[in-house]
Amino acid sequence: MKFFIDTANFSEIKKIIDVFPIDGVTTNPTLISQTGESIQSLIPKICELVQKPVSAEVIETEKDKMYQEALQLSKLHKNVVVKLPLTKDGLAVCRLLKEKEIPTNVTLCFSPLQALRAAQSGATMVSIFVGRLDDIDQSGMQVVADTLEIFSNYSLKTEVLVASIRHQKHILDSALLGTDIVTAPYKVLNQIIQHPLTDIGLKKFLESAQALQKK
């Protein structure tokens, strides 16, 4: 399973790649707006830093304008993955970008059939927002499980990207289901390697080592 970081915060990305292998970055207009920088200046910097796929999202909603914006975004850096909304216009643009071999991440997916249509439109990856489904009392992970089964039934190459991750259990469940990619916030990526017994065990080992030195 590939691990992406879900942030537009340059210093968070820098801190995480110094410690863990990271396979990509996902951003969205909300995350970009929190940085106070423009997408045009920020995305190339992130791409240069990580040298991995970086999703950059369109904000146009009408097909022709969205297509032009998508082309501009893809020119920002060779590692840009154009993020498109799961709408009629978004899927139409997805097909056009597929013809040009521009990678895409179809976002805001909340059902297996939406995911199927995104895959059939040539999406490189499809982002299923599990946290937002859980928020409305639906099972985000069931949508992921059903999507994986459908993609396997038809040998679809689109990668299933689990997004809107709120906690470690979402990541564990994704790995158990065989998800291709998870994208998680900085905080959750750090939490997954932590365990109280690791801290207690290390403390005891250090105490033993110090006691030995005193002898």
Distance between CA atoms of residues 213 and 151, nearest Å: 59
Residue 52 annotated among the catalytic residues of the structure: no
Q: Please, which of residues 101-120 interact with ligand E4P by CB under 6 A?
A: 107
DSSP H or E run through 184: strand 181-184
Q: For 13-51, give the DSSP string.
A: HHHHHHHS---EEE--HHHHHHHTS-HHHHHHHHHHHH-
* Minimum distance from residue 28 beta carbon to ligand E4P (Å): 4
CB 144 within 8 A of CB 182: no
- Which window, 44-52, 125-133, 152-160, 172-180, contacts ligand E4P (CB under 6 A)? 125-133
Distance between CA atoms of residues 186 and 163, nearest Å: 13
Q: Which tokens belong to 142?
A: 């069931």
Catalytic residue among 83, 187, 203, 214: 83
Q: Does 131 bind ligand E4P (CB under 6 A)?
A: yes
Nearer to ligand E4P, 114 or 127 (CB): 127
- Which window, 14-22, 44-52, 129-137, 196-204, contacts ligand E4P (CB under 6 A)? 129-137
What residues line the site for ligand E4P (CB under 6 A)?
6, 26, 28, 107, 127, 129, 131-132, 163-164, 183
Catalytic residue ranges: 83
